[in-house]
Amino acid sequence: MPELPEVEAVCRKLRGHVVGAEIRAVVVRRCAAESVTRLAPKRRITAVDRRAKHILVRLSGGLTLHVHLRMTGNLFAIPDVRLHSADARVVFELAGKAGIVYTDPRALGRLEIIETPKIDAAMAELGPEPLGGQFTADTFAEMAQASRQPAKLFLMDQRRVAGLGNIYVAEALFRAGVDPRKPLTRLKRPRLDRLHGEIVSIVEDAIQSACRAYAGPGEFSEAEEFPLAVYGREGEPCGTCQGVIRRIAQGGRSTYFCPRCQT
């Protein structure tokens, strides 16, 4: 599943090609997007924003194209709309020859047009962005000390921190030396500050790696160029202590960690 860094890479690349362009027509193939075909044509793209893992393509007239890529979705610009891939589910024809293509092999994504105030109100229910000004060490510590959730589940809760996903949560907890099963209320302030700092650092590093991966041709996957210390490495030796990396289930998802390094 594309996580925050990958979605940010999609937005940055898309933003550089489509802001200011007018949508001339929309062709829908194998996708339920009635609001898109009805409302998108003749509107100008004014901005491309991101909130957590949500892509928000702002349109003239107070509307927003809301895209959630889910497991296998992608959204990208092409110089000639006639050359879109065969697996395209929605094609936006822009002024000139350019276009925007939405693909989603497993058809799990979401694509719809919503009034901008309504989608912004929904996005306001999410927690602070990891790289946003509201995500301070003090705010994080206050939230963490008021929750009895295990560290992994706390960080995966989008009401706590917006956009963090399974891969980068595992890596942040490893860098901070925090056991994913431990409630954050049991951590003293210096440990919480360290975890806060590692979250910010992980997201910054992951965005840079995602942008590098997405600069190349074809599709890209989450953490494609990001060096993973624990995620997906069950049974392998830890690069720090040479202990064995474990995998457990938390909240229906796999959690990877090093029992020696994370206490």
Asked about 42 being catalytic, the answer comes back as: no
Residues 174-187: tens digit of each pLDDT: 999 999 999 999 99
d(CA 49, CA 56): 5
Are β-strands 99-103 and 110-115 bridged in parallel, bridged antiparallel, or unpaired?
A: unpaired
Per-residue pLDDT at 85: 81
Taking the C-alpha atoms of residue 152 and residue 30, their distance in angstroms, rounded to an integer, is: 36
- The answer to whether the CB of 67 falls within 8 A of the CB of 123 is no
> Which two tokens mark 70?
């889910």
Report the C-alpha gap between 136 and 128 in whole angstroms: 9
2 is catalytic: yes
| pLDDT at position 130 | 97
Question: Would you call 130 a catalytic residue per the annotation?
Answer: no
Residue 67 confidence (pLDDT): 96
User: What is the rounded distance in angstroms from the CA atom of residue 66 to the CA atom of residue 54?
Assistant: 7
- Which residue in the list 225, 253, 259, 260 is annotated as catalytic? 253
Instruction: Give per-residue pLDDT as tens, 200-235.
Output: 999 999 999 999 888 765 566 666 778 999 999 999
From the candidates 53, 58, 175, 233, give the one annotated as an active-site residue.
53
Residue 3 annotated to the active site: yes
C-alpha distance from residue 180 to each of 21, 149, 161, 239 (Å): 45, 10, 16, 18
Under a CB-based contact definition with an 8 Å cutoff, are residues 163 and 53 in contact?
yes
* Residue 226: C-alpha distances to residues 11, 36, 71, 206, 211 (Å): 19, 35, 19, 6, 11
Rg (CA), the chain: 20
Q: Which of 3, 8, 93, 198 is catalytic?
A: 3
Parallel/antiparallel/unpaired status of strands 110-115 and 23-28: unpaired
Give the end-to-end CA distance of the chain in Å, rounded to a whole number: 28
Which residues of the chain fall short of a pLDDT of 70? 1, 32, 216-223
Delineate the domains of the chain, giving CATH numbers in brackets: 4-123 (3.20.190.10), 137-257 (1.10.8.50)
What dihedral angle (degrees, nearest 10) is formed by the CA atoms of 28, 33, 37, 43?
-120
Measure the CA–CA gap between 145 and 46, rounded to whole angstroms. Answer: 40
Residues 6+ apart with CB under 8 A from 249: 255
- What predicted TM-score, i.e. pTM, was given to this entire model? 0.91
Q: With beta carbons less than 8 A apart as the criterion, state whether 82 and 23 touch.
A: no
Which residues fall within 8 angstroms of residue 246, CB to CB, at 6 or more apart?
Answer: 234, 256, 257, 258, 259
What is the model's pLDDT at position 152?
97
Average pLDDT, the chain: 92
